[in-house]
Amino acid sequence: MTALPAGGSEGPAPSAWHAGEQALQARAGVHERMAAVGEVVVRDHMPDQHRELFEKLPTLLLGAIDAQGQPWATMLAGPPGFVHTPHAQRMDVGAAIDAADPVMAALAAHGTGAPVGVLGLEPHTRRRNRMNGHVVRWGAQQGLSITVAQSFGNCPKYIQARAPGLRAAVAPPQPAQALGPALDADALALIARSDTLFIASASAARPGAQRGEGVDISHRGGEPGFVQAKHTAEGMELWLPDYPGNLFFNTLGNLAQHPLAGLLWVDYEDGGLLHVAARAELLWSEADRAPWPGAQRVLRLQVLGGVWRAQALPWRWTVAQPAPQFQAMRQAATAAPAAPGA
């Protein structure tokens, strides 16, 4: 039963979506529809099928915010079963803690109560589930435990299918490399050839306790080179297309309120991780999105800095099987009539 607010009269139930998400939904013309959808699909617990997926994964994606309110994204790894859900409202993660990981460093500084975003993704089956919550236990000995605030599934769109396997040989750990706003040639080369990235965002520098507030991490896929790097007078920019999705607008809604993002690229050939901090701006014009057929918006991301962690993961992945949506977009763009005067 919904508790009565002060004053004694029953007010509207809190929305599953915070103000930033609702603003984007309204601009897309789906506000009323998504208000009803949110009450059905956004849960305060993990359904059994979500728990089953999380517990068989060899990787887990996390997002967190540091003391300055900067989001960061990371991928943790372990043998299947390193993620355990003792019940529907808690997740325990048994991965080793690397202090060079900016997400682990942020959680260590904050401790219990830290908001955290979780994404479970199985690329070869294109299954993915999200869970956003708060840290309830943290430490090198105790591991990481997260309590659920929001849990929901995602469709398989734009996921490039690939499967992990252990590397034949694992090199000794290498120190993390701090990168400036210009990044470096190796980082830009990884971005240029990649077909996948992950983006962490937050509803505020210090998210409140209202429903829907917190940290989120999301997947973005495209054809190799879909993220464009541009040198500008203001510094390095990364342009990221936003394709039609589930209309939740978790990432874009967060960025509307707190325009900082944490980006993550995985070197699927050798297990390296590239973490990038950026300031985001959402662009809506047709000219801005023209290089990406099918895109509805573009994120312009000004790079603030980054961290490169060579061979941070024990896995290497098979060659990707492309997501079918991009071929359909190319065909639609080719079949579309030329604009007047083109």
Q: Is the pLDDT of residue 8 over 50?
A: no
The answer to whether residues 129 and 154 touch, using CB atoms and an 8 Å cutoff, is: yes
Write out the E strands in 155-271: 164-166, 177-179, 196-202, 215-221, 228-232, 235-242, 260-266
Q: Is the pLDDT of residue 2 over 70?
A: no
Axis-axis angle for helices 31-41, 19-27 (nearest 10):
130
CA distance 226 to 230: 13
- Of 19, 14, 34, 16, nearest to 253 by C-alpha is 19
pLDDT for the residue 97: 83
Instruction: Give 9's pLDDT tier (boundaries 50, 70, 90).
Output: very low
CA distance 261 to 293: 24
Largest CA distance in the chain: 67
- Of 175, 93, 183, 170, nearest to 131 by C-alpha is 93
Amino acid in the structure at residue 46: M
Q: Is the pLDDT of residue 174 over 90?
A: no
The model's pLDDT over 150-169, given as tens digits with 9 standing for 90+, comes to 999 999 999 999 999 887 76
Backbone angles phi, psi at 312, to 5 degrees: -70, -20
CA distance 177 to 152: 35
- Provide the CB-side half-sphere exposure for 300 (13 A, CA): 14
- Of 45, 22, 46, 12, nearest to 256 by C-alpha is 22
pLDDT for the residue 89: 97
For the CA atoms of the chain, what is the radius of gyration?
20
pLDDT for the residue 160: 96
Q: What is the mean pLDDT of the chain?
A: 90
**Residue for token pair 């800095």:** 305
The answer to whether residues 215 and 117 touch, using CB atoms and an 8 Å cutoff, is: yes
Given 2.60.40.10, 3.20.20.70, 2.30.110.10, 2.30.30.40, which CATH number is that of 39-157+174-316+326-331?
2.30.110.10
The model's pLDDT over 129-143, given as tens digits with 9 standing for 90+, comes to 999 999 999 877 778
Query: Which residues lie across from 197 on neighbouring strands?
Result: 220
Three-class SS state of 222: coil
Does residue 305 come out as left (phi exceeding 0), alpha (psi in the -120 to 50 range) or beta?
Answer: left
Residues with Cβ within 8 Å of 341's Cβ and at least 6 positions away in sequence, in order, are none
N residues, the chain: 342
pTM for this predicted structure: 0.92
pLDDT for the residue 96: 82
The model's pLDDT over 272-292, given as tens digits with 9 standing for 90+, comes to 999 999 999 999 999 999 999
CA distance 141 to 138: 8
Rounded average pLDDT over 68-92:
97
The answer to whether residues 337 and 212 touch, using CB atoms and an 8 Å cutoff, is: no
pLDDT for the residue 336: 61
Q: Which two tokens stand for residue 142?
A: 């105790």
Q: Is the pLDDT of residue 328 over 90?
A: no
The answer to whether residues 131 and 150 touch, using CB atoms and an 8 Å cutoff, is: yes
Q: Which two tokens stand for residue 269?
A: 């050939």
The answer to whether residues 58 and 265 touch, using CB atoms and an 8 Å cutoff, is: no
CA distance 102 to 65: 9
Instruction: Give 170's pLDDT tier (boundaries 50, 70, 90).
Output: low
Q: Is the pLDDT of residue 74 over 60?
A: yes
The model's pLDDT over 217-230, given as tens digits with 9 standing for 90+, comes to 999 999 999 999 99
